[in-house]
């Protein structure tokens, strides 16, 4: 089981470009597809991992490893998720002086950008579908994104406002 966890997260770490958000579709497919957790549990883990400090894809890997094999599993998943990026950055740092002004490298990274956007959009849409966001309720995340992007509102205030709104909604609906 440790080898399976290690190889899974090593592959995810090695073949995703664009950081944690780009890793999400692969992590979700593996975690849900292998029945390590349900889709709803994955969305909950995603929310908690984003609220914690650190690289949230690594936080998710640590959580999955801990859930399956406790502390040794979390260490294995963390190392496997981080190792490919560490080795790539180390290689780039060693070669940076030779590639920083290379037009081919610049064009390659420009070509990767749209793919990274798609890799980020897929888990967002999947999470929205899983938690039951409809076109009517999509107003809330769209408004939050616009407040942050266009008006420069701190995400901290958005989270606090959402928590207060959720609490108030629960009180009004008699759930709390």
Could you give the percent of the chain with pLDDT greater than 70? 98
Same domain, yes or no, for 15 and 102?
A: yes
Same domain, yes or no, for 28 and 52?
A: yes
Residue pLDDT, tens place only, 88-108? 888 878 877 777 777 887 888
Q: Tell me how many domains the chain contains.
A: 2
Same domain, yes or no, for 160 and 122?
A: no
Select from 104, 62, 105, 83 the least CA-distant residue to 13.
83
Whole-angstrom distance, CA of residue 26 vs CA of residue 17: 12
Same domain, yes or no, for 108 and 142?
A: no
pLDDT, averaged across the chain: 87
What is the domain extent for residue 114?
A: 2-132
Residue pLDDT, tens place only, 24-81? 888 999 999 999 999 999 999 988 998 888 888 899 999 999 999 999 999 999 999 9
Which residue bears the tokens 């936080």? Answer: 59
Same domain, yes or no, for 7 and 40?
A: yes
Same domain, yes or no, for 21 and 99?
A: yes
Same domain, yes or no, for 61 and 106?
A: yes
Same domain, yes or no, for 75 and 62?
A: yes
């Amino acid at each position: 089981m440790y080898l399976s966890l290690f190889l899974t997260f090593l592959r995810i770490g090695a073949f995703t470009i664009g950081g944690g958000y780009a890793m999400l579709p692969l992590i979700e497919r593996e975690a849900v597809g292998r029945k390590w957790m349900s889709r709803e549990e994955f969305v909950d883990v995603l929310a908690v991992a984003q609220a914690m400090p650190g690289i949230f894809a690594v936080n998710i890997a640590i959580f999955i490893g801990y859930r399956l094999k406790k502390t040794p599993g979390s260490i294995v998943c963390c190392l496997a998720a981080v190792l490919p990026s560490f080795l790539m950055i180390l290689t780039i740092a060693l070669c940076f002086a030779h590639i920083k002004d290379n037009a081919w490298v610049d064009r390659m990274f420009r070509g990767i950008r749209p793919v990274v956007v798609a890799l980020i959009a897929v888990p967002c849409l999947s999470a929205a579908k899983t938690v039951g966001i409809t076109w009517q309720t999509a107003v809330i995340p769209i408004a939050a994104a616009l407040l942050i992007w266009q008006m420069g509102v701190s995400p901290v205030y958005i989270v606090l406002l959402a928590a207060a709104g959720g609490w108030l909604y629960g009180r009004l609906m008699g759930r709390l």
